[in-house]
Structure 1
Amino acid sequence: MKLRNLFIAALIVAALLLPPLIITQADLGYRLPQTLLKGAKYQTGEVIVKYKPTRKQRLALKKKSKKAVKNTPDFKVIKLSAGESVRAALKKLRKKKTVEYAEPNYLRQITRQFKPNDPWFWPAQWGLYNHGQLVWGSYGVRDADTDLTEAWSIERGTKRRIIVAVIDTGIDTGHPDLVNKLWRNRKEIPHNNKDDDKNGYIDDFYGYNFAGISQNYLDSVYFLGKQVDDLTSTYAYQSITGTGGYLSQLSLRLAKTGRPSGDVRVALRSSLDGAELAAFTIKQWEIGDYSDESSVTTITKNFSSKVKLTDGQTYYLYLSTTAASDSNYYTIGFNSGEATEDTESSSKSFSTKLSDAATDPYVEGKFKYWEGTDWVEGEDLDMFFQTNHTSNPHDDNGHGTHVSGIVGAQTNNNIGVAGACPGARIMSIKAGSSTGIFQSTNVARAIYYAIKNKASIINLSLGGSGQTATERRAIKAAIDAGILVVAAAGNSGDSTIYYPCGYDGVLGVGATTNTDEIASFSTHNSVVDVSAPGRAIISTTPTYNVSFNIYNNYSLGYDFMDGTSMATPFVSGIGAVLKSRRPSLRGRKLGLAIQYISDDLGTKGRDDYYGFGRVNSYKAIRGDRGNPTTPVITSSTHPSQSKTYTKNTVTYNWSAKDRSGIAGYSYVFNQSAGTIPNKTIDARGTSRTFTGVANGRSYLHVRAVDSFGHWGKTSHRSVYIDAYKPRTSAPSASSARFNRQATLSYRVDDPYTSKALVIIKIKYGKSSFLKIFNLGYVPVNQLRGHSFKCDLPAGNYQFLVYATDKSGNKQYNVASNTLSVSW
């Protein structure tokens, strides 16, 4: 089959960022934009709200384990009343003291692929092995690839099968090149409508679908309950295809002109003239007034009962009203199927014409309306609709299937294509609709799902303008959980920063061609960390019809696409190969190992086009061949190695550097000067406090190991502790005659000093001291005597010996003996 080169149904996302907004809660750690960001799109009819926990909730949370609540979404989606704008709702909510933050439900989209000028096919997975072959009219440059074939000679990702969560438009679970590569939730029994593993998701055997069955692009309206001459339009329906899950909720976009006398009834049927399986009614007063397309409000209702939709079977969402009028009627939001210009955006690339991308994105259903005497099919029309979440991550767009194949299509099976990581397990999490539009809430929910189900890598081949606290917090939770988050930089060809690529800790990916040049569409800016093959990339496509198969002439099963969306899964797949080889690499350290050992192209060092370079899996697998620097050791409590300290609790800090990141440290603390620690990681942190340190000179020996297992040289730092209290003794009594010489014998013992300050005091009975001799610093650990002219009257006296060593430690005991004086 000749593969053809046309691009996927591209979708526009926008969103109006909020009016001036400040969030002061410390846990957000940043300030949201204070001005309107032109062009950012959001879901109308609803807002995201995060409430501050009440005192009762805070007490309840304390009783739960942090692990149990940490990665659970805690935001709420509030549906707005008819006619209420998002802007007005946010202004009202932000004034409430109980609200931590409120923001629009921003929309995300897949990074669009680009159609080449000359669609030629030649066996050409040049991103894996570039031998100069001709691909889409362009000869490649040898070795302008990711060196995966070389890397596979060492590791194919089968040593440990790494889970890669692909958050996208879903996956073709029956694709012959993917069916054996899917992650499976073995604790879940499929299709029993139960949450068997108690993870909060019902029947999530292959992953999950947060977008439901949906077509959420709107560019036009149609009438319901309108009288035109002798024709009435009181009925309309949208057919949908079941995916095996349960339908319980539906969102539609409606508005009204005038005051229609009848309500709108929505029924689910398995045949057009069949009985209602479930239904709900939307009251006239619940629907806002129509002014233009932007006023068509999203209305979400629960069906009267939950209905299981058989996989592959057609169902009908049947809309009806009881009266028709030429001035009082409803409007239904839908996709016209025509090429229209998108609303203006901050990025020029998002204001180009949609071309075929807007044509009938939901191929698995049709919109029809009743025109008085017969049903009329709107060619390429689809009503705006969105169902509840479901378990089946069915790909009704195609983008997610293509991305998944690049990550880990089954390899060496005599069919199709090879994946970057042959051993990877693909966790498919559908967050994008048939139109390729992603709500930021669904992106966040998908990330939390990946965390909860222990993915090691998250692939985000999607993006849009505008930051959200909801997405940022979810991504931070993933990074904190040790997950590598990889995201597409965008296809604008300019320096616009898109999100989620722009969030801290995310590994941003640009796209290269088969000649190692940056693709003309690849976005270039400060958040591009690495680049990877992204032009003329062949991978898996759905084996059933979706929009871009029919209208963009992509082939069923396999075809080429362009975009940073295609470059991103190369990096995710390489990350899986590397982590399979070196499981200790987690999260950011895995990303550092990939980015710092890439092939530096373009301007020397990091630049905004290639990042740190085009990824090289073979170099990453082999490691950087360099050793970490010798650690620098400091002490805040004992800063000098030449001084003597009496405090025997010592705190050390140390640090080392390496291009691939430091995996940990091995250390020994003893009283031997030249110890070399073994090659076992004792600490991943860079600080340690030792208590009860022995007297004398002790040594801390530290060495570092990088992410590839290379050990550096040992650093040694000493500390001298003298907490020993001198022992005094007066071994013999002394006698003397009045006005004759007397000698007082004493001894001071201290193994940790050479001299001590000695004071001898003489007293008679309980009287005060009669004589005090300050002998200064004298040698210790020997018997000594102090002689003086005894001018004391005859009698029996007591002499006492005091000592203080050079560290300031006072005597452990006060030694004493007698002095007898005679006339």
Structure 2
Amino acid sequence: MLKTNKILCYLALGVLPSLGFSQNKDTPPANWYNLDFQKDATMGISTEKAYELLKGRKATPVIVAVLDGGVDVQHEDLKDVLWTNPKEIPNNGKDDDGNGYIDDIYGWNFLGNAKGENVNQDNLEVTRLIRIYEPKYGSVLPTTPLTEAERREFVAYQKMITFYTSKVDEGNMGKMTYNRLKEELDGIIKAIGKEPKDITVADLDQFNDATARQKSAIRIAKKEMDTGTFLKFYEDIKDGATHFNDQVDYNLNQKFDPRNIIGDNYEDASERYYGNPDVKGPDAGHGTHVAGIIAGKRNNGIGINGIADQVKIMSVRVVPNGDERDKDVANAIRYAVDNGAKIINMSFGKGYVYNKKTVDEAIKYAESKDVLLVHAAGNDASNNDIVKNYPTKYFTDSLDAVVGEAKNWITVGATAWKLDGDLLAEFSNYGYRSVDVFAPGVKINSTMPESKYKEQDGTSMASPVVAGLAALLRSYYPNLTAVEVKQIILKSVTKVDQKVKVKGENGNKKVYLDEISVSGGIVNAYKAITEADKLLSNKK
């Protein structure tokens, strides 16, 4: 599911919620994810230090595909680092290069149709699955005769219903809470008579005609303004309201199904040629942010510095405001591979899967073409060894038994900037076998549509940090294979002799990173360059 940022949930208390906001109340240094701990006392990945080693070396630009909700290709900090299809003539309505996609200049959009119409909202996968299984199993009793295959489906359906019901309850509570808080803030803004960006603590203190609800909202706002602005707080509340409204109205609404807009035969997973060339789509916030982390034009005096300096971003729109569909993900991977991407970033995930086989086949195809896949671990503070976050690096059979593992795959969890017990982002998923590495994913400032910038949290931000590092390696070491790049990244992590807090079944517990990941550390660009030099030296 596409998450614009980590929605900072409130706990309901009376009419308005009590504060339950951010893990880190202070502010990290600018560009923190590129900084070095020894030099800057910040748990970045030492990108700037790595470039000192690379001075004078030549690099070959590498194509990185961003499979996401869309990218603003006109952004001031991205327009110079975009992949463009060299064989396609813009806007002539023809498939000039014969790849099956008309006018695919910057990439492709699998969430639209040839008329230019696009899907924005969609269901969660669990909603779609319940819509399929409910007519068959909604009235089944434990004593109803079923085949072995039907029994497995019925048990799965029952678990889906339990999960779905809890999500509906959460969505309704969140919708009521955030809408009510936004309503009170709107009233306060109107009464004060200023734009949100101009409202100060003094303005709130001088607002004497507040109702009881408004007083509660003011208390929350003032607490958040200790480390931010009223505008930032108000934007977070609006994001929260939008998130929960979308959950109730679209993501969890079994009566809502927008797939007819696209006009494909959804059940035909082999169908590949549908969509349109609108890679921005109706909501490009998440994908634009991800693209900037990877490739925001470095040292141009504007915006932010991405990780890689020799990279071309290919945008493949595949994630709606809801859960991505397996057919679209598989097609997006194949499109990226066939059009020259050497790294694919996938900052999305979901707890249920409809057609895992078609995604597995696409992952194997990418592996056969030496393409590295980088995937976000998820933002549920859960153990991916136990609770699945699809797609995964594991190939499975019809009984969901593991039958193989992708060697060209890196799963990424998120960390913060301080070396303390809160180093692991409070929302980050983890897993001793299933999460490979960690990377910065808290308060990451990056590009947003219309040449804007914004801080966001999530493993969605950590994944492009690693994809950017992979692009850095493949551009300066073009002979490295995808598997070798993965090995270098995992081998060169910064190990941390510090226990971190994770959420367990019985509350928080403290563990080392090597207990909750394969590599046991945070990616490090400087060490990766050193490791790559060592590997190439040994090959000679």
- TM bin (shorter chain): 0.5 to 0.7
In the alignment, the residues of structure 1 paired with residue 307 and residue 367 of structure 2 have an alpha-carbon distance, to the nearest angstrom, of 23
1:302-313 to 2 correspondences below 5 Å: none
Contact 2:89 2:103 in 1 (8 A): yes
Q: Deviations over 1:108-150 (max 9, x none)?
A: 54596354537776752211115799xxxxxxx7141100001
What is the SS of the residue equivalent to 1:509?
strand
Contact 1:408 1:421 in 2 (8 A): yes
User: What is aligned with 2:370?
Assistant: 482
Matched, 1:511 2:414: yes
In the alignment, the residues of structure 1 paired with residue 168 and residue 437 of structure 2 have an alpha-carbon distance, to the nearest angstrom, of 23
Matched, 1:169 2:69: yes
Q: CA deviation at 1:212?
A: 1.6
Matched, 1:500 2:391: yes
Q: CA deviation at 1:576?
A: 0.6
Residues 195 and 123 of structure 1, relative CA distance in 2, 3 Å threshold: same
In the alignment, the residues of structure 2 paired with residue 348 and residue 165 of structure 1 have an alpha-carbon distance, to the nearest angstrom, of 35
In the alignment, which of 442, 445, 448 is matched to residue 541 of structure 1?
Answer: 448
Q: CA deviation at 1:387?
A: 3.6
Q: CA deviation at 1:564?
A: 0.5
Q: Report the residue type matching 1:572 in the other structure.
A: A
Residues 621 and 207 of structure 1, relative CA distance in 2, 3 Å threshold: same
Residues 428 and 252 of structure 1, relative CA distance in 2, 3 Å threshold: closer
Contact 1:112 1:491 in 2 (8 A): no
Matched, 1:577 2:472: yes
1:663-678 to 2 correspondences below 5 Å: none
What is the SS of the residue equivalent to 1:538?
strand
Report the identity percentage.
Answer: 33
User: What is aligned with 2:308?
Assistant: 421
Contact 1:406 1:418 in 2 (8 A): yes
Contact 2:304 2:447 in 1 (8 A): yes
Q: Report the residue type matching 2:389 in the other structure.
A: Y
User: What is aligned with 1:615?
Assistant: 523
Q: Deviations over 1:152-180 (max 9, x none)?
A: 12338971111100100010111111111
Contact 2:36 2:47 in 1 (8 A): no
Q: Deviations over 1:200-250 (max 9, x none)?
A: 11100000000127xxxxxxxxxxxxxxxxxxxxxxxxxxxxxxx634899
In the alignment, the residues of structure 2 paired with residue 131 and residue 465 of structure 1 have an alpha-carbon distance, to the nearest angstrom, of 35
Q: Deviations over 1:753-799 (max 9, x none)?
A: xxxxxxxxxxxxxxxxxxxxxxxxxxxxxxxxxxxxxxxxxxxxxxx
In the alignment, the residues of structure 1 paired with residue 418 and residue 242 of structure 2 have an alpha-carbon distance, to the nearest angstrom, of 36
Contact 2:28 2:443 in 1 (8 A): no
Q: CA deviation at 1:425?
A: 0.6
Residues 480 and 411 of structure 1, relative CA distance in 2, 3 Å threshold: same
1:313-462 to 2 correspondences below 5 Å: 344-345=162-163, 352-353=170-171, 355=175, 384=258, 386-387=261-262, 389-397=275-283, 398-433=285-320, 435-462=321-348
Contact 1:488 1:501 in 2 (8 A): no
What is the SS of the residue equivalent to 2:289?
helix
In the alignment, the residues of structure 2 paired with residue 574 and residue 404 of structure 1 have an alpha-carbon distance, to the nearest angstrom, of 13
In the alignment, the residues of structure 1 paired with residue 83 and residue 447 of structure 2 have an alpha-carbon distance, to the nearest angstrom, of 17
Residues 111 and 613 of structure 1, relative CA distance in 2, 3 Å threshold: farther
Matched, 1:532 2:439: yes
In the alignment, the residues of structure 2 paired with residue 527 and residue 252 of structure 1 have an alpha-carbon distance, to the nearest angstrom, of 30
Q: Deviations over 1:645-666 (max 9, x none)?
A: xxxxxxxxxxxxxxxxxxxxxx
Q: Report the residue type matching 2:426 in the other structure.
A: S
Q: CA deviation at 1:587?
A: 1.6
Matched, 1:710 2:538: yes
Q: Report the residue type matching 2:305 in the other structure.
A: A
In the alignment, the residues of structure 2 paired with residue 114 and residue 249 of structure 1 have an alpha-carbon distance, to the nearest angstrom, of 25
In the alignment, the residues of structure 2 paired with residue 123 and residue 499 of structure 1 have an alpha-carbon distance, to the nearest angstrom, of 33
Q: CA deviation at 1:481?
A: 0.8
User: What is aligned with 2:487?
Assistant: 592
Q: CA deviation at 1:575?
A: 0.5
Q: CA deviation at 1:500?
A: 1.7
Larger radius of gyration between Structure 1 and Structure 2: 1
TM-score scaled by length of structure 2: 0.62
Residues 122 and 512 of structure 1, relative CA distance in 2, 3 Å threshold: closer
Residues 158 and 126 of structure 1, relative CA distance in 2, 3 Å threshold: farther
Q: CA deviation at 1:359?
A: 5.2
Residues 184 and 249 of structure 1, relative CA distance in 2, 3 Å threshold: closer
In the alignment, the residues of structure 2 paired with residue 129 and residue 518 of structure 1 have an alpha-carbon distance, to the nearest angstrom, of 17
What is the SS of the residue equivalent to 1:438?
coil
Q: CA deviation at 1:420?
A: 0.7
Contact 1:111 1:463 in 2 (8 A): no
What is the SS of the residue equivalent to 2:35?
coil
Higher helix fraction: Structure 1 or Structure 2? Answer: 2
Contact 1:497 1:527 in 2 (8 A): no
Contact 1:109 1:464 in 2 (8 A): no
Residues 193 and 129 of structure 1, relative CA distance in 2, 3 Å threshold: same
In the alignment, the residues of structure 1 paired with residue 524 and residue 28 of structure 2 have an alpha-carbon distance, to the nearest angstrom, of 24
Which structure carries more relative contact order (alpha carbon 8 Å, separation 6+)? 2
Q: Deviations over 1:482-514 (max 9, x none)?
A: 001010111111112312244332211010110
Contact 2:290 2:464 in 1 (8 A): yes
What is the SS of the residue equivalent to 2:363?
helix
In the alignment, the residues of structure 2 paired with residue 111 and residue 451 of structure 1 have an alpha-carbon distance, to the nearest angstrom, of 26
Q: Report the residue type matching 1:612 in the other structure.
A: G
In the alignment, the residues of structure 1 paired with residue 465 and residue 100 of structure 2 have an alpha-carbon distance, to the nearest angstrom, of 31
User: What is aligned with 2:49?
Assistant: 150
In the alignment, the residues of structure 1 paired with residue 278 and residue 90 of structure 2 have an alpha-carbon distance, to the nearest angstrom, of 10
Q: CA deviation at 1:580?
A: 1.2
What is the SS of the residue equivalent to 1:150?
helix
Unaligned runs of 5+ in 2: 9-20, 123-129, 135-159, 176-237, 250-255, 264-274, 395-404, 500-510
Contact 1:158 1:423 in 2 (8 A): no
Residues 542 and 252 of structure 1, relative CA distance in 2, 3 Å threshold: closer
Residues 610 and 492 of structure 1, relative CA distance in 2, 3 Å threshold: farther
Residues 250 and 590 of structure 1, relative CA distance in 2, 3 Å threshold: closer
Contact 2:121 2:322 in 1 (8 A): no
In the alignment, the residues of structure 2 paired with residue 710 and residue 425 of structure 1 have an alpha-carbon distance, to the nearest angstrom, of 30
Q: Deviations over 1:43-82 (max 9, x none)?
A: xxxxxxxxxxxxxxxxxxxxxxxxxxxxxxxxxxxxxxxx
Q: Report the residue type matching 1:523 in the other structure.
A: N
Contact 1:347 1:492 in 2 (8 A): no
Contact 1:210 1:431 in 2 (8 A): yes
Contact 2:319 2:348 in 1 (8 A): no
